[in-house]
Amino acid sequence: MITQADLERSLDHAVHSVDFQGRLTRHHSGKVRDIFVVDDHRLVFVTSDRISVFDRVVGTVPFKGQVLSGISNWWMERVADLLPHHLLSVPHASCVIAKRCRPLPVEVIVRGYLTGNSSTSIWTAYANGLRTYCGHHLPEGLTRHQLLPEPLVTPTTKGDVGAHDELISREEIVAQGLVPADLYDRISEVAVALYRRGAEQAARSGLLLADTKYEFGLDEKGVLTLIDEIHTPDSSRYWFAADYEARVAAGQEPRGLDKDYVRNYMKSQGFTGDGEPPALPAGIRMEAARRYIELYELLTGAGFVPDFSRPEEAVLARLD
């Protein structure tokens, strides 16, 4: 549980970016995470409190980095019997030190439900009459947001910075030499196993794991390894199970746990991705933080312990 006083205090502590004062080399910065090189074998992942909606960073939500990092770490432990993961240690609530791997050039999306709004989503394709999606045949008569007969693996290519990821099929991945056939089949199989584990575990918290994205890499010995993040609200779509059926039957969207709250605020201010985003007011940032923390506690069953310290010192201390 987070107190109102902690939330108010947190507003000035949100982490937009980190500064290692040249002691670590920046490897990559995404919209939310900053990745630094320790050496040939290790990377540091800092999950900042930045929040992106409509593909744009619109501000910070206090503790979001701690929630996302904590959720991913929690899940890594819970899937470790399915395949090795990259996590080495956790120097700070929002940071991990990870094994540096060679990332495979595809993102592996697993979809349990016929949903999504974007131009590349499975529902958009289905609504437009397509009955083949990423090489999978889809039967007639399916309805929006419904459970798919089987979870589907729908890979995308990894676009360069700024480029959008594109849908691709197993056949194209193999033909283009992105991933060899036998390795693709392994990641596809393990992705479904990860998704099933995720959906099963989420159900215990009254949540549906509608879809999610995995990334895989090969470690220095060539061992297939789960990398990046897993089952966070940034990489996954979670719905509340309790009112899912009633809402879908009434023609509404399932109640989501992702960035809907901030997205809706931005929309109400007339921002849908173009131009300068309006500032996020303190009240919206605190309520968004409260919701992220609620998800953390619902999922993990553990109380959220806010950490007001900066990540830099803790990370550098662990590397000495």
- Give the integer Cα–Cα distance in Å for 50 and 149: 36
Site string for ligand ATP, 216-235 (x = CB under 6 A): -x---------xx-------
The DSSP H or E segment spanning 106 is strand 106-113
31 binds ligand ATP (CB under 6 A): yes
Closer to ligand ATP by Cβ: residue 145 or 259: 259
- Give the integer Cα–Cα distance in Å for 236 and 199: 11
258 binds ligand ATP (CB under 6 A): no
- Give the integer Cα–Cα distance in Å for 101 and 203: 32
User: Which position's Cβ is nearest ligand ATP?
Assistant: 30
Single out the residue of 24, 32, 46, 114 in contact with ligand ATP (rule: CB under 6 A).
32
Give which of 70, 44, 49 is closest to 312, Cα–Cα.
Answer: 44
**Nearest approach, Cβ of 88 to ligand ATP (angstroms)?**
9
- Give the integer Cα–Cα distance in Å for 85 and 103: 12
Q: Which amino acid is at 107?
A: E
Residue showing tokens 């039957």: 249
Please say whether the dihedral angle defined by the alpha carbons of residues 16, 52, 210 and 35, taken in this order, is positive or negative. Answer: negative
Give which of 94, 3, 97, 92 is closest to 43, Cα–Cα.
Answer: 97
192 binds ligand ATP (CB under 6 A): no
Q: Compute φ and ψ for 268, nearest 5 degrees.
A: -65, -20
Closer to ligand ATP by Cβ: residue 100 or 263: 100
Site string for ligand ATP, 95-124 (x = CB under 6 A): ---xxxx-x---------------------
215 binds ligand ATP (CB under 6 A): yes
Closer to ligand ATP by Cβ: residue 228 or 258: 228
**Nearest approach, Cβ of 203 to ligand ATP (angstroms)?**
27
Residue 136, beta-bridge partner list: 133
**Nearest approach, Cβ of 149 to ligand ATP (angstroms)?**
30
Closer to ligand ATP by Cβ: residue 52 or 269: 52
What residue ranges bind ligand ATP (CB under 6 A)?
28, 30-33, 35, 43, 86, 98-101, 103, 215, 217, 227-228
